[in-house]
Chains A and B, each alone.
Chain A
Amino acid sequence: MSGISVKELYKTYKGSTEPTLKGLTFQFGKGKIAGLLGPNGAGKTTTISILCGIVRGDSGEVIIQDLKQEASHREAIKHIIGIVPQQIALYPQLSAVENLTYFGNLYGFKGKPLQQKIMHYLELFGLEKSAHKEIHKYSGGMKRRANIIAAILHNPKLLVLDEPTAGVDVQSRSMILQFLRDYNRQGASILYTSHLLEEAQSLCEEVVIMDAGRMIVQGNPLTLIHQHPGCNNLEDVFLHFTGNALRD
């Protein structure tokens, strides 16, 4: 049973001569924590956008939890996926409760059950004392935590996170990673992108390293390290495949 399956995926944006994705292929099993890694411009965000159905691929096949990503399944896939974008996708002038109530309402939740769920997550993420504070008054770590709550209100089976720990302090990062492990233990699949390879090595059961729109290598981080002599960690593996040349 595959959680995510991507086959021969191509995408060229309008006005661009160079394809962003060039036959990208990979597969992650259900219930795993997977990492999508690559240097800047590798096509990670485009891949995530196609997985979520925000951007259409030119050709190829994407299957999410046994559902093909196409018009007829798009709504069903939305129920399955929760996305945590890199930006803080919340209204800065509204409090955490107001934001979460709004997004909860959009999912069709309302009343006391929704408020109980919101308060449960706010406590879980250590935000209960700032529940009614406007988001723009939050620290970077608090914003990231609130951003994650907005993506899990509907208990998605697949949680997609785009650099969820970028720019947060150690405590917030540790808390977020622990939450992801716990959430995964409840049966959810997790796909996340990060430039922090040490974090990916400790968190992910499987990683895909991609570059220039293609999958370079896929496997368990420790297996990949052992398979490549001279590599002591995932960062060494990453540099081994993607090189030291600077990227735009």
Chain B
Amino acid sequence: MLRLLATIRKEWQLLLRDKTGIILLFIMPVVLITVMALIQDAPFKDYQDIRFDILTVDNDHGRLGRSVKEGLASGGQFNIIDSLDGRPVTAGQAKQLVNEGKYKISIIIPAGATAAIVSNANRIVNDITHRMGMSVSLPVKQTPDSLNVTIYFDPAAKKAFKGAIHQSVDNFLTQVETDLLLSRIKQQLRSKDSSAGTADTLAIRLQAVGLKEQSTGSGKQLDVISNSVQHNVPAWSIFAMFFIVIPIAGNMIREREDGSLLRMKLIPGSYLAILAGKMLFFVGVCVLQFYLMMLVGIYVLPLLDLPQLVMGHHPGATLLVAGAIGLAATAYGILIGTVFKTPNQALNFGAISIVILSAVGGIWIPLEVMPARMQLLGHLSPLSWGLDAINDIYLRNGDMAFVWKNVLRLILTGLAMLAIAGWVEKRRMN
């Protein structure tokens, strides 16, 4: 125990004297998560709370045009722009402005669109009433119009964004068509039912089954959406924790080069106790780093107009995950410090390997948006296990039962890396 405690105290003294190390371990990660959260705030907002301007050209001046404009405006995500400098926007102008990238989207509702929908509804009603033996006939156009609502997108618009707009406009079209058809049917039925008088006694409800969104979490529900802070703070914290590889590997190679490792090995007693002390210290530093960055997410980022980090309702599970990530990161540092002979080799390999592991592990962009093969590869990265576990707690309100698999993976990987480091060191002695 004395060896373990002495090693922890020695590492603490070394860290206190190493100003650059302190900056690398604590200050740089705070800057990193702040910058990344700010930079990635806009892409995350694309689908959430950014309001887009939509140029709308309503050549119809009827119910369809009104319905599309009101529908888009009511969602809160779009500003309807139908005039510029006090003059209505023209189709040509809208096309040009979108092409120039000044607007992301424009919708052009053709003249006569509502009339075409009405005529089509009348034709359907005439057909139905004719089959029912009624003589009433509503006016229809002899030759149906072939009209389209035209949408122009900024060439740089994302596919998902385009799909969402398409879906919305299509819904408005369907809704207007359905409403007009139902109103025509009601009108005809009312004219047939003399007892109804002028009162609207027909209640036609088209939607029998509704749509309701609910949280999947158990117990206390979280009102959390994945936003820039919710993704970036845990993700880049894990990245920064793994960067502890640099000081650990440097520390181990220095100890080997200056002979202090030799001295430690010549002292009676197990070297494992010294290694355990070193590991405990660096795992502690990792956990400290993690919570420091969580505090930044909770208290500092909101000051920069970013959302506040939500940490879920299971602090015990969070601590366990942070410890497991710290263990894997520390073990990786010990492995690199053992395998490589010079600080330059170790530091370059360590830094680049962490960047690669983080990129494939979903730290930079979520794994879900990666190609299938990369997703498979990404699931092999210890950084992705850590991030998955944190997301389970923060976004899905998960507890120990949710995270134990990823925690076990991290711990076993850490132990495997230590075993390899031990084997390499033994080979070196022989």
A46 to chain B, nearest CB (A): 13
Query: Would you call B211 an interface residue if the criterion is a C-beta within 8 Å of the partner chain's C-beta atoms?
Result: no
Using known A-B contacts A88-B258, A89-B259, A90-B260, determine if residue A107 contacts B267 with beta carbons closer than 8 Å: yes
- B10 proximity list for chain A (CB < 8 A): 91, 94, 98, 102
**Do B17 and A134 touch across chains, with their CB atoms under 8 A apart?**
yes
- A107 proximity list for chain B (CB < 8 A): 267-268
B430 nearest in chain A by CB position: A56
Residues of A within 8 A of B (CB): 52-56, 75, 78-79, 81, 83, 85-94, 98, 101-103, 105-108, 110, 134, 150-151, 154
When chains A and B are docked, how far (Å) is the Cα of A107 from the Cα of B10? 15
- A75 proximity list for chain B (CB < 8 A): 268-269
- B263 proximity list for chain A (CB < 8 A): 83, 85, 89, 103, 150-151
- B13 proximity list for chain A (CB < 8 A): 93-94, 98
**Do A110 and B14 touch across chains, with their CB atoms under 8 A apart?**
no
Contact with B257, one of A56, A87, A101, A103 (Cβ below 8 angstroms): A87
Contact with A106, one of B14, B257, B264, B429 (Cβ below 8 angstroms): B264
Query: Would you call B266 an interface residue if the criterion is a C-beta within 8 Å of the partner chain's C-beta atoms?
Result: yes
Annotate B122-133 by CB proximity to A: 1 below 8 A, 0 otherwise.
Answer: 000000000000
**Do B262 and A106 touch across chains, with their CB atoms under 8 A apart?**
no
- B265 proximity list for chain A (CB < 8 A): 54
**Do A88 and B269 touch across chains, with their CB atoms under 8 A apart?**
no
11 A-B contacts (beta carbon < 8 Å): A54-B265, A75-B268, A78-B266, A78-B267, A83-B263, A88-B258, A91-B10, A92-B258, A102-B6, A106-B3, A106-B264
B17 nearest in chain A by CB position: A93
B273 nearest in chain A by CB position: A106
When chains A and B are docked, how far (Å) is the Cα of A231 from the Cα of B262? 38
Annotate B1-18 by CB proximity to A: 1 below 8 A, 0 otherwise.
Answer: 011011101100110011
**Do A105 and B262 touch across chains, with their CB atoms under 8 A apart?**
no
**Do B17 and A106 touch across chains, with their CB atoms under 8 A apart?**
no
Query: Would you call B274 an interface residue if the criterion is a C-beta within 8 Å of the partner chain's C-beta atoms?
Result: yes
**Do A55 and B269 touch across chains, with their CB atoms under 8 A apart?**
no
- A85 proximity list for chain B (CB < 8 A): 259, 262-263
- A108 proximity list for chain B (CB < 8 A): 2, 269
**Do A106 and B430 touch across chains, with their CB atoms under 8 A apart?**
no
A107 nearest in chain B by CB position: B267
A151 nearest in chain B by CB position: B263
- A86 proximity list for chain B (CB < 8 A): 259
B340 to chain A, nearest CB (A): 17
A109 nearest in chain B by CB position: B2
A168 to chain B, nearest CB (A): 17
**Do B3 and A105 touch across chains, with their CB atoms under 8 A apart?**
yes
When chains A and B are docked, how far (Å) is the Cα of A103 from the Cα of B274? 11
- Tally of A-B residue pairs with Cβ under 8 A? 75
**Do B268 and A52 touch across chains, with their CB atoms under 8 A apart?**
no
**Do A106 and B260 touch across chains, with their CB atoms under 8 A apart?**
no
- Total chain B interface residues with beta-carbon distance under 8 A: 26
Using known A-B contacts A56-B430, A105-B2, determine if residue A81 contacts B266 with beta carbons closer than 8 Å: yes
Interface of A is mostly: loop
Contact with A103, one of B5, B14, B267, B429 (Cβ below 8 angstroms): B267
When chains A and B are docked, how far (Å) is the Cα of A88 from the Cα of B41? 51
**Do B259 and A106 touch across chains, with their CB atoms under 8 A apart?**
no
- A102 proximity list for chain B (CB < 8 A): 6-7, 9-10
Using known A-B contacts A55-B429, A105-B3, A108-B2, determine if residue A83 contacts B17 with beta carbons closer than 8 Å: no
B9 nearest in chain A by CB position: A102
B261 to chain A, nearest CB (A): 8
* Contacts of B21-75 to chain A: CB distance below 8 A: none
**Do A91 and B268 touch across chains, with their CB atoms under 8 A apart?**
no
Using known A-B contacts A85-B259, A88-B259, A108-B2, determine if residue A52 contacts B17 with beta carbons closer than 8 Å: no
**Do A54 and B2 touch across chains, with their CB atoms under 8 A apart?**
no
When chains A and B are docked, how far (Å) is the Cα of A90 from the Cα of B262? 11
- A88 proximity list for chain B (CB < 8 A): 258-259
- A55 proximity list for chain B (CB < 8 A): 429
**Do A106 and B258 touch across chains, with their CB atoms under 8 A apart?**
no
When chains A and B are docked, how far (Å) is the Cα of A5 from the Cα of B429? 22
A104 nearest in chain B by CB position: B6
- Shortest Cβ-Cβ A-B pairs, 4 listed: A89-B259, A105-B6, A87-B259, A85-B259
B268 nearest in chain A by CB position: A78
Contact with A54, one of B6, B18, B257, B262 (Cβ below 8 angstroms): B262
A49 to chain B, nearest CB (A): 9
A136 to chain B, nearest CB (A): 10
When chains A and B are docked, how far (Å) is the Cα of A110 from the Cα of B5? 11
**Do A106 and B274 touch across chains, with their CB atoms under 8 A apart?**
yes
- A151 proximity list for chain B (CB < 8 A): 263
B243 to chain A, nearest CB (A): 20
Contact with B429, one of A54, A98, A110 (Cβ below 8 angstroms): A54
When chains A and B are docked, how far (Å) is the Cα of A55 from the Cα of B426? 10
- A91 proximity list for chain B (CB < 8 A): 10, 14, 260
When chains A and B are docked, how far (Å) is the Cα of A89 from the Cα of B260? 4
* Contacts of B386-430 to chain A: CB distance below 8 A: 429-430
- B6 proximity list for chain A (CB < 8 A): 101-102, 105-106
* Contacts of B363-383 to chain A: CB distance below 8 A: none
Annotate B253-283 by CB proximity to A: 1 below 8 A, 0 otherwise.
Answer: 0000111101111111100001000000000
**Do A89 and B430 touch across chains, with their CB atoms under 8 A apart?**
no
Q: Assuming A85-B259, A87-B257, what are 14 further A-B pairs, CB within 8 angstroms?
A: A53-B266, A54-B265, A54-B429, A55-B429, A56-B429, A83-B262, A88-B259, A89-B262, A89-B263, A101-B6, A102-B10, A105-B5, A106-B269, A154-B267
